[in-house]
Amino acid sequence: MKISKTYSGYILKHESGEYFASSFSSFSPQSYSTDDLLNAVRYPFKSTAEQVVANAKVMEPRWDGEKSLKDFLIHCTPKKITVNVEAEVEE
Residue 12, CA distances (Å) to 9, 28, 47, 64, 71 in order: 10, 17, 12, 21, 13
The pLDDT value recorded for residue 25 is: 67
Q: What is the pLDDT of residues 7-50, one digit of tens each?
A: 999 999 999 999 999 877 666 777 888 999 888 999 999 999 99
The pLDDT value recorded for residue 19 is: 96
The pLDDT value recorded for residue 20 is: 95
Question: Are the beta carbons of 8 and 78 closer than 8 angstroms?
Answer: no
| Single-letter amino acid, residue 48 | T
pTM above 0.85, yes or no: no
